[in-house]
Amino acid sequence: MQLLLKTFLFILLTCCCASAQSILVTSGDTWKYLDNGSDQGTAWRNVGFNDALWASGNSELGYGEGDETTVVSYGGNPDTKHITTYFRKVVTLSSTYNSFILRGKRDDGVAIYFNGVQIFKDGLNEPILYNTLATNAADDGQVWLNATLPGNILQVGQNTIAVEIHQTAINSSDITFDFELIGQNSTYISRGPYLQMGTTNSMQVRYRTNVATSSKINYGTDPSNLNSQVSDNIDKTEHVVDLINLIPNTKYYYNVANSTEVIQSSAQHYFYTAPTVGTEKKTKVWVTGDCGTGTSTQANVKNAFLNYVGNSYIDLWLLLGDNAYSSGHDYEYQSLFFEPYQNSRTMKQTPIFPAPGNHDYYSSSQASRSGAYFQNFTLPTNGEIGGPPSYNEGYYSYNYANIHFISLDSYGTETASLYRLSDTLNSPQIAWLKADLAANTQKWTIVYWHHPPYTMGSHNSDTELELRYIREKVLPILERNNVDLVLCGHSHNYERTRLIKGHYGLETTFSANTHNQSSSSGRYDGTADSCPYVKSSALPNKGIVYVVSGSAGWVSGIQGSYPHDATVYSNSATGGSIYLEIEGNRLDSKWISENGTVADQFTIMKDVNKNTEVVITPNTPSLSLQASWLGDYAWNGYSNTAKTLTINPVIGQSYFVEDSRQCLRDTFTIKVNPNCVNNYQMTNEIGGNSLIKFEASQTISASNKLQNGTGVTYNAGNSILLSNGFQANSGAVFKAEIKSCEN
């Protein structure tokens, strides 16, 4: 892990902006440290403090992990370890810098001071004393936290860096400390660019620069001629640029600049605007849950997905919450979300539509929407992309192609009564959700939030009340409407149900016979009982597939009854992410594990298996029949394998088409319209025992007397037999008149 991080840092410094950055402190440097558990007060943080009697060693420093360069002491008693360990270093600057990048590893809590002033803190509450326990066990010292600091925080000459690491408990197994500091002098993008608010005619580009500078986006449909610009001459580090008056479903190239130079540009800087709402365009969606960890699992899951999709453009990126551990601070978003993803093409090209998790709230409060999550993402709260306005950044909805997406907030609270999602009688979120579902006319409806209603992974949906209440109170609302798919995170594993309906109780009350709306696995891969789930666009809703996908960043823990009885497939061994493809009336979901395999998949189809009466006029020369699904086709009696078959119709005959797995079948029965006006002639060869069959209500007259007389009406399906004694001139013509025509 450390080798990968150092390699990344080396590439960053030598390839991106080698002349603009200086490594001032790097992993492996020497630090003074004190590991005797004493109370050092606050003087140890200051310039001029005498640390001559302190020990010294190279980073990484700590104990218990086995990867330390310098092992420090915990006091000898594993049950009463020192809570706090102190570290100091003097850094000499020969020149000024515009800004600094601080990178640090800690286990568990950390506070960092420059020249006696606290500039960074994680996992510690004030006041910080020598016996203050960290608020949470961090991450076993595997994650590098990043922060960008202003240039005036250090001075030319000597500067003192002081760091204290705190245990979360006196019997905690380990501590970790490592540190890097980089000085910067040129303008460059430290975050992003990333895309927000993608509509049919607009896109928002957001990014952060290391120093305050003007904003400018050059863009156009020709990569060699970016002839349109949007600019803002106010110097800032947080840049939000809206591109408007764009053409739907069109590829646009862009670069990031300021008033004097292009800051970032590449062949990967492009995006597509959304198609017109309702269009049955193939839509590709990436879904990551609990992704912001900075671990090797996060990197593996990202790389496995990108390798699987190859050069395919991804239209949307959905986040299922807990997007930056452990508390959703801005520097955690920087280190654990933006940096791991911003060098991949997805962040430069694909609009992000997130949902908040509980960890995204920990940097502020459950009732506050002021944390980094709400600062870092622009969300369509005013109904800009479809659906009624929510006027709340915690939840919103939007349309893309023929899909309606709803992002909910399963942790935040609202109003003075602190209503949550599961407070269905009074929650403003629920009132909005009901209105949104009632107004929705899209073919597909996908809802996502953080806390899953069915899980026995690292969380328990029976014993954890926020999960249980959502299942009991919110799911009936979704199932009364045309919701097709629910996506959640929170449990750090993967769990997936069949198409189910009506289960709101504890796990033991789940009945496959009662609650499964299909016995199929839904995999649609040719294995036994794997046909797709079939639904109708019309109410009543036939059920929903529920998916837990919270392992895009790590895998951890399962309950004793894992997997949940409602699930058809579960995976707690590897991380992974979801890849959705939706086109027309077909939805395919694939869970791509971090080892690159499609470990689970399912398909839902709508409005298929049709029995259609095709009504034609008599003597229709040809007719085209079309299957109701996207896939493969076998037309009975024909070698044609296309979706559409052209025939010479035979009235009264049925035609049918199946898929290769014999899961789907459409039947077409050809009938003549009995109310069609059209005069035509039937020529009957003269001869005994000739049979004339009538295809519609017809009145027969002839130049020769018929056995049953002239002017007689015969209904469809009746026939008349010309007897052996019938006499007529050769070529006698019988005229049939159909009385009216509506097609």
Residue 673: strand, helix, or coil: coil
DSSP per position, 321-386: S--STTT--HHHHIIIIIHHHHTSHHHHHSBEEE---HHHHTTS-TT---SHHHHH----TTSTTS
Which pLDDT belongs to residue 740?
38
Which pLDDT tens digit goes with each residue over 564-606? 999 999 999 999 999 999 999 999 999 999 999 999 999 999 9
In this structure, what DSSP letter does residue 711 have? S
Which pLDDT belongs to residue 736?
39
Tokens representing residue 282 in the block? 């193939």
Question: How many whole angstroms separate alpha carbon 672 and alpha carbon 738?
Answer: 11
Question: How many whole angstroms separate alpha carbon 198 and alpha carbon 555?
Answer: 32
Measured between alpha carbons, how far is residue 731 from residues 659, 685, 734 in Å?
Answer: 48, 6, 10
Give the number of other Cβ atoms within 10 Å of residue 725's Cβ: 7
Model pTM?
A: 0.80
Give the number of other Cβ atoms within 10 Å of residue 634's Cβ: 16
Question: How many whole angstroms separate alpha carbon 224 and alpha carbon 448?
Answer: 39
Question: How many whole angstroms separate alpha carbon 573 and alpha carbon 554?
Answer: 10
Q: Which amino acid does the sequence have at 705?
A: K
In this structure, what DSSP letter does residue 6 have? H
Q: Which regions in the chain score pLDDT beneath 50?
A: 1-19, 677-743
* Contact between residue 102 and residue 108 where contact means Cβ atoms under 8 Å apart: no
Tokens representing residue 240 in the block? 């939000």
Which pLDDT belongs to residue 14?
31
Which pLDDT tens digit goes with each residue over 115-128? 999 999 988 989 99
115: left (phi over 0), alpha (psi -120 to 50) or beta: left
* Contact between residue 605 and residue 629 where contact means Cβ atoms under 8 Å apart: yes
* Contact between residue 518 and residue 500 where contact means Cβ atoms under 8 Å apart: no
Question: How many whole angstroms separate alpha carbon 418 and alpha carbon 618?
Answer: 69
